[in-house]
A and B are shown apart, each in its own frame.
Chain A
Amino acid sequence: MPLDERTYETLTGIVGELWVERAPCVLDTYAYYQNPETMNQDGSQWLPRPAAVLLPDSAEEIQEIMRFCSRSKYMAKPISTGFHTAAAASNDDTIILDLKRMNRILDIDEKNQIAVVEPYVRGIDLQTQLLKVGLNCHIVSAGAMHSLLASHAAAWGYGVTGSSTSYSGRNLLGVEWVLPNGDIVTLGSSGFGAGWFSCEGPGPSMRGVMRGFHGTFGGLGVFTKCSIKLYKYDGPRSWDFEGQSPNYVLKEIPKRGKFVAIAFPSRKAERDGGYKMGEAELNYGEFRTPMFFTALGLTNNNLELKEALDSGLFPKFANHVLSCAFFAASDGEFAWKEEALAEIIKETNAAPVPFNLSASIRSLKLAGKLLAGVKDPLAPLRKSPALRRFAESSSFGAAQRRATQSRLFWLLVRNAVNIQSAFRPSQGMATMMGAFDTWDLAHAQAEYAAKAKQKYIEQGLIIADGGDLGAGGTFESGHLGYLEGIILYDPSNPASVEAVRDLVEGGLRASIDEALGVPIAGFGVNANKELGPACYHYDRWVARLKSALDPNTASDPFFYSEPEDEDDNPT
């Protein structure tokens, strides 16, 4: 509902007239996000129009807003960069707090590898500063434009450098949190004036109620600053390039840097390879690159993509590919990593995809014809280390090789996710599964998703991508693994949208029936109802927390939890 004048005056009194917006045309820009039609039960592409949008500039202003919401019918919903539908208001009594004015990098402590950031500091903003001094942060695969505070404190997301930079939710070292009632609490060492290095304690860690795996998505107050863990980066501090967006080519491949796409002969070999590389602490960045994504990444438009796939080459070598980047701080380390990788390639009968061969459509068509009767085009490379060395170091195809290595540099180091390209085939992308645990479990989820998609592919309702778009990688030197199942669909076709909804909901049920873990979509009021009974009734506990910390529902509960229903309380 539109704000009444009294409310408008109250809010302008807090943030200033310039920073309160209630024009419908502007409010509607906050009502459209990624794949809304799959989240809305009626298939609509529009989410609720918020009551207003405020742009506060400080924790103190947010404190006043939360106090106002606590005593009124309005609820607050913070967003920073916003991308997913979870950033939207759940009804028209919700006031969006757009935090883009809070965009300061407050501190980079190089020595202790800690950065303190406000909500609208994006991955690219911080990383650009960090790489110059040999540090990096974890950036989720939504892309480097995403808010670091959002992924670390309030939401989730998988990033391609997880093998060396962990997972955002585990990299949180401190947080300033405006509670729904307006109280401000700073967790961990910073709350004691001791620095921003630890989020744990004293005594029990309240980090355990402020985010969880999925985060609270703005459903339990507002996070106004946080400190995050930084990691070493042994890649180049600067680089020259040529070309134009999105195909930038490094003029020189970094010294002691390696970019490779490893094609495994089977899923089992791919699984084994992930564990082995993890144990060897090889990879800086790592992305399981499904066959369809490989073809997508090598083409510039949908016609080229179709022709590339029609060549028949990709299913022959690219069903089990891990794209990897590693760096070393010394020649000795680099030599050891090269030798370890060679051993792993041999043990798993894998082969590096030869980057020195042209990936033009003409070349692919020709190669497709020439290799029509060949089952395994990479067999010679699997058998011959000498041939692998030739492909990696000869002058033959060197320019092509550098271009492909550059693509991996931008993907795996700069997190330059070509979102335009990812949405290109059908304009719609959704995801399913995506529970964290082991690399083996990640593959079990990818296999489930691939199988579940076949029916809809055969009906022509989703893109015929081969089924397996299991995207992700290993984390923390192979200790953890993650794959989510991407679905490419047509948002303008209600039947396609319905197919996606079936797949995502089916994935949720399969997670329960087949013990595949809490999926990436397993958050918020609706999912909690389904998953909670299968997961020790966590739904009751978050509802109790919501009741205790937000008794007046000042924070929009929809993507977190409604307050406890008295009837549900067994105690």
Chain B
Amino acid sequence: MIVRPPSRVLAPGDVPELQRLIEDANEAEENLVVMSSGSPHVRDGLATAEAHALVDLSAWKRVDLVDRRNRVCRVEPGVTYDELLAALQPHGMTLPMPLAPRSTKSVLAAVMDREPSTWPNKQWDGSDPVGSTEFLFGTGEHFRTGAAGGPGSIDAQRKVGGAQKFSSGPSHTDFHRVLQGAQGTMGVVTWATLRAELAPSIEDPHLLRADSLDALIPYVYDVQRALLGEQSFILNARAAAMLMAGMDAGLLVALCESLPPFLCLQNIAGFERLPEERLAYQRDDIGAHASRHGLELLQALDAVSARDLLSHANNTCGEIDWRQHVHGGCLSVFFLSTLDRAPELAACFTESAKDYGVHESEIGLYVQPVVQNHGCHIELTVSYDPSSGTAEANMQRLEEDAVTRLLDAGAFFSRPYGTADRIFAKNPANFALIRQVKSLFDPNRVLHRGKWGL
């Protein structure tokens, strides 16, 4: 695809301005692409071959509700993770985080894209942590989802104890789900309430090491099914080194050499109530699961401590995505499956990569249980130098080939980026339904026209 730059950048100051802008776009048949995160953008979510105006909501920065009793907050599109964590921290709360997001990454953009968090047992539903939302349809019509959908104003709802936390509704609708994952094609979200969690008052993170991915999986199943522990994910040595090394190429090499082939981060924590006692029983129970599977809870490996890794995971990684720190470019292919299928799907990618001269040791692997481990996010990465045209073209070919093979092998590309957009053809009835809904939500196709052929 030949990506076109925007013809102009629009920065509406509030919802009425945004609404007028969308209505004008309908009149003028202008194509709008909406952006909330700051640059540089990692994926091609904003990319389009169509002429378009860019609508920049990154200056919408309000966090105007932090409710400790109901564990909920409300954010506008431009709020970043650092800003939100700073707002939640005085109230003893936090938000399940994606793995080390960029410092300019919009929280709202991430959750509306169903970006996985590292805290799987706090995610009850695939749409969490989104509570209620306010959005504008492609027609400019105004809507609120979930409990915020009414009746009554937000103030009136709060006066009787409501906190706009329930996500479904009003009544027969559940439109926030239509907007999630839509990459700006179905509507423009102007705020969302998010389900916050108590921040741990004490933490005792651990690492488990293994020579194979298969060796860690039974342990993860047992611990996640029991809803034990807190943040938890699996990285291979390459991915862990990429996350920890920052811009230091030498450290990256050293970490790759010293880290075990696979490791699992397992945070254990206590909260406001009986924290030490909670941590103690959880450590015992999790330790017993580890032992049963021939694994050991370690506070540190030679090269890295669990606390350091958790800190990297739970904080932003700077303006540049951690995957791009050392080499500048990174192919990232990600999809959903169940945890038991992770090894074979990772192997499928590895097979593809070999055909393009990529050695197994160059492939990063991140496996993230999601929705209380009813599924998992599997991400495979290959770093490259984007200034080399050859490398870039090679990665594009690898991506196309790998996506085709993974699709055939049963990977589910729930969040289609790049060449993964071909997935729609595999379920034409579902795509026909999406098109019908698009024609209702955005009949004049002013929102990200042409995306996925919509």
Binding site for B on A (CB under 8 A): 109, 111-114, 166, 169-171, 173, 179, 183-189, 191-195, 197-209, 211-216, 229, 231-232, 275-276, 279-281, 329-330, 332-333, 335-336, 339-340, 343, 435-438, 440-444, 476, 478-480, 511-518, 522-523, 527-528, 531, 534-536, 538-539, 541-542, 544-545, 548-549, 560-561, 570-571
Q: Is residue B338 contacting chain A, with contact meaning CB distance below 8 A?
A: yes
Supposing A202-B414, A440-B70 touch, asked if A549 and B436 sit within 8 A by C-beta, the answer is yes
Q: How many angstroms from the CA of A440 to the CA of B163 in the assembled complex?
A: 9
Q: Looking across the interface, which residue of chain B has its beta carbon closest to that of A509?
A: B151
Annotate B406-430 by CB proximity to A: 1 below 8 A, 0 otherwise: 0100111111100010011011011
For residue A295, give the distance in angstroms from its CB to the closest CB of chain B: 28
Q: Looking across the interface, which residue of chain A has its beta carbon closest to that of B183?
A: A203
State which residues 162-190 of B face A: CB under 8 Å: 162-183, 185-186
Q: Looking across the interface, which residue of chain B has its beta carbon closest to that of A536?
A: B143
Whether A212 and B169, one on each chain, are in contact in the complex, defined by CB atoms closer than 8 angstroms, is yes
Whether A332 and B178, one on each chain, are in contact in the complex, defined by CB atoms closer than 8 angstroms, is no
Cross-chain contact of B423 among A109, A202, A534 (Cβ < 8 A): A202
Supposing A515-B152, A538-B149 touch, asked if A232 and B177 sit within 8 A by C-beta, the answer is no
Report the contact-size class of chain B (Cβ under 8 Å from the partner): 35 or more
Note all chain A residues with C-beta closer than 8 A to B178: 204-206, 208-209
Q: How many angstroms from the CA of A305 to the CA of B371 in the assembled complex?
A: 45
Supposing A173-B374, A194-B337 touch, asked if A515 and B437 sit within 8 A by C-beta, the answer is no
Whether B182 and A518, one on each chain, are in contact in the complex, defined by CB atoms closer than 8 angstroms, is no
Whether A202 and B226, one on each chain, are in contact in the complex, defined by CB atoms closer than 8 angstroms, is no
Cross-chain contact of A336 among B150, B195, B281, B416 (Cβ < 8 A): B281
Q: Is residue B48 contacting chain A, with contact meaning CB distance below 8 A?
A: no
Whether B161 and A441, one on each chain, are in contact in the complex, defined by CB atoms closer than 8 angstroms, is yes
Note all chain B residues with C-beta closer than 8 A to A276: 273
Note all chain B residues with C-beta closer than 8 A to A191: 427, 429-430
Q: How many angstroms from the CA of A561 to the CA of B170 in the assembled complex?
A: 14
Whether A436 and B226, one on each chain, are in contact in the complex, defined by CB atoms closer than 8 angstroms, is no
Whether B177 and A518, one on each chain, are in contact in the complex, defined by CB atoms closer than 8 angstroms, is no
Note all chain A residues with C-beta closer than 8 A to B443: 571
Whether B182 and A203, one on each chain, are in contact in the complex, defined by CB atoms closer than 8 angstroms, is yes
Binding site for A on B (CB under 8 A): 69-71, 114, 124-127, 139, 141-144, 147, 149-153, 156-157, 159-183, 185-186, 195, 198, 221, 225-227, 271-274, 277-278, 280-281, 284-285, 288, 336-341, 371-375, 407, 410-416, 420, 423-424, 426-427, 429-430, 432-434, 436-437, 439-440, 443, 452
Q: Looking across the interface, which residue of chain A has its beta carbon closest to that of B147?
A: A437
Cross-chain contact of B338 among A197, A279, A478 (Cβ < 8 A): A197
Whether B285 and A329, one on each chain, are in contact in the complex, defined by CB atoms closer than 8 angstroms, is yes
Whether A548 and B374, one on each chain, are in contact in the complex, defined by CB atoms closer than 8 angstroms, is no
Whether B412 and A333, one on each chain, are in contact in the complex, defined by CB atoms closer than 8 angstroms, is no
Supposing A340-B273, A515-B152, A517-B162 touch, asked if A184 and B429 sit within 8 A by C-beta, the answer is yes
Whether B160 and A206, one on each chain, are in contact in the complex, defined by CB atoms closer than 8 angstroms, is no
Whether A332 and B410, one on each chain, are in contact in the complex, defined by CB atoms closer than 8 angstroms, is no
Note all chain B residues with C-beta closer than 8 A to A560: 172
* Among A170, A202, A336, residue most surrounded by chain B Cβ atoms (within 10 Å): A202
Instruction: Give 23 pairs: A residue, B residue, CB < 8 Å, sorted on A.
Output: A166-B124, A194-B336, A200-B127, A203-B185, A204-B185, A204-B437, A205-B127, A209-B178, A209-B433, A213-B172, A215-B172, A436-B168, A438-B162, A479-B124, A514-B160, A516-B160, A517-B147, A522-B170, A535-B149, A538-B170, A542-B173, A560-B172, A570-B141
Whether A189 and B414, one on each chain, are in contact in the complex, defined by CB atoms closer than 8 angstroms, is yes
Supposing A185-B433, A332-B285 touch, asked if A170 and B181 sit within 8 A by C-beta, the answer is no
Q: Looking across the interface, which residue of chain A has its beta carbon closest to that of B420?
A: A202
Whether B181 and A201, one on each chain, are in contact in the complex, defined by CB atoms closer than 8 angstroms, is yes
Note all chain A residues with C-beta closer than 8 A to B182: 203-204
Supposing A170-B125, A186-B430, A531-B170 touch, asked if A200 and B176 sit within 8 A by C-beta, the answer is no
Q: Looking across the interface, which residue of chain A has its beta carbon closest to that of B451?
A: A203
Cross-chain contact of A206 among B71, B274, B339, B433 (Cβ < 8 A): B433
Note all chain A residues with C-beta closer than 8 A to B160: 441, 444, 514-516
Q: How many angstroms from the CA of A184 to the CA of B174 in the assembled complex?
A: 21
Note all chain B residues with C-beta closer than 8 A to A199: 126
Q: How many angstroms from the CA of A410 to the CA of B60 in the assembled complex?
A: 51
Note all chain A residues with C-beta closer than 8 A to B176: 208
Whether B181 and A203, one on each chain, are in contact in the complex, defined by CB atoms closer than 8 angstroms, is yes
Note all chain A residues with C-beta closer than 8 A to B144: 536
Supposing A435-B147, A479-B165, A536-B142 touch, asked if A280 and B177 sit within 8 A by C-beta, the answer is no
Whether B180 and A200, one on each chain, are in contact in the complex, defined by CB atoms closer than 8 angstroms, is yes
Cross-chain contact of B170 among A193, A200, A444, A518 (Cβ < 8 A): A518
Whether B125 and A166, one on each chain, are in contact in the complex, defined by CB atoms closer than 8 angstroms, is yes
For residue A269, give the distance in angstroms from its CB to the closest CB of chain B: 14
Q: How many angstroms from the CA of A170 to the CA of B166 in the assembled complex?
A: 11
* Among A109, A343, A441, residue most surrounded by chain B Cβ atoms (within 10 Å): A441
Whether A185 and B429, one on each chain, are in contact in the complex, defined by CB atoms closer than 8 angstroms, is yes
Note all chain B residues with C-beta closer than 8 A to A206: 178, 430, 433-434, 437
Cross-chain contact of A203 among B125, B171, B227, B416 (Cβ < 8 A): B416
Whether A343 and B274, one on each chain, are in contact in the complex, defined by CB atoms closer than 8 angstroms, is yes
Supposing A194-B410, A479-B71 touch, asked if A209 and B437 sit within 8 A by C-beta, the answer is yes
Note all chain B residues with C-beta closer than 8 A to A441: 147, 157, 160-163
Note all chain B residues with C-beta closer than 8 A to A329: 226, 285
Cross-chain contact of B281 among A186, A335, A517 (Cβ < 8 A): A335
Whether A480 and B165, one on each chain, are in contact in the complex, defined by CB atoms closer than 8 angstroms, is yes
For residue B246, give the distance in angstroms from its CB to the closest CB of chain A: 33
Q: How many angstroms from the CA of A214 to the CA of B168 in the assembled complex?
A: 9
Whether A214 and B172, one on each chain, are in contact in the complex, defined by CB atoms closer than 8 angstroms, is yes
For residue A562, give the distance in angstroms from its CB to the closest CB of chain B: 12
Cross-chain contact of B429 among A183, A202, A279 (Cβ < 8 A): A183
Q: How many angstroms from the CA of A541 to the CA of B450 in the assembled complex?
A: 24
Note all chain A residues with C-beta closer than 8 A to B180: 200, 204-205, 208
Note all chain A residues with C-beta closer than 8 A to B159: 515
For residue A155, give the distance in angstroms from its CB to the closest CB of chain B: 11
Q: Looking across the interface, which residue of chain A has its beta carbon closest to that of B114?
A: A200
Whether A536 and B149, one on each chain, are in contact in the complex, defined by CB atoms closer than 8 angstroms, is yes
Supposing A189-B412, A201-B114, A204-B434 touch, asked if A336 and B274 sit within 8 A by C-beta, the answer is yes
For residue B425, give the distance in angstroms from its CB to the closest CB of chain A: 10
Note all chain A residues with C-beta closer than 8 A to B173: 208-209, 212-213, 538, 541-542
Whether A542 and B172, one on each chain, are in contact in the complex, defined by CB atoms closer than 8 angstroms, is yes
Q: How many angstroms from the CA of A199 to the CA of B427 in the assembled complex?
A: 13
Cross-chain contact of B285 among A111, A179, A183, A333 (Cβ < 8 A): A333
Q: Looking across the interface, which residue of chain A has its beta carbon closest to that of B427?
A: A191
Q: Looking across the interface, which residue of chain B has its beta carbon closest to that of A561?
A: B172
Supposing A203-B183, A211-B174 touch, asked if A229 and B151 sit within 8 A by C-beta, the answer is no
Whether A531 and B195, one on each chain, are in contact in the complex, defined by CB atoms closer than 8 angstroms, is no
Note all chain A residues with C-beta closer than 8 A to B70: 438, 440
Whether B171 and A527, one on each chain, are in contact in the complex, defined by CB atoms closer than 8 angstroms, is yes
Note all chain A residues with C-beta closer than 8 A to B412: 188-189, 192, 194-195, 197-198, 201-202
Cross-chain contact of A187 among B162, B416, B430 (Cβ < 8 A): B430
For residue A137, give the distance in angstroms from its CB to the closest CB of chain B: 13
Q: Looking across the interface, which residue of chain B has its beta carbon closest to that of A185?
A: B429
Q: How many angstroms from the CA of A514 to the CA of B436 in the assembled complex?
A: 36
Whether A216 and B340, one on each chain, are in contact in the complex, defined by CB atoms closer than 8 angstroms, is no
Q: How many angstroms from the CA of A179 to the CA of B280 in the assembled complex?
A: 52
Supposing A206-B430, A534-B150, A535-B151 touch, asked if A339 and B274 sit within 8 A by C-beta, the answer is yes
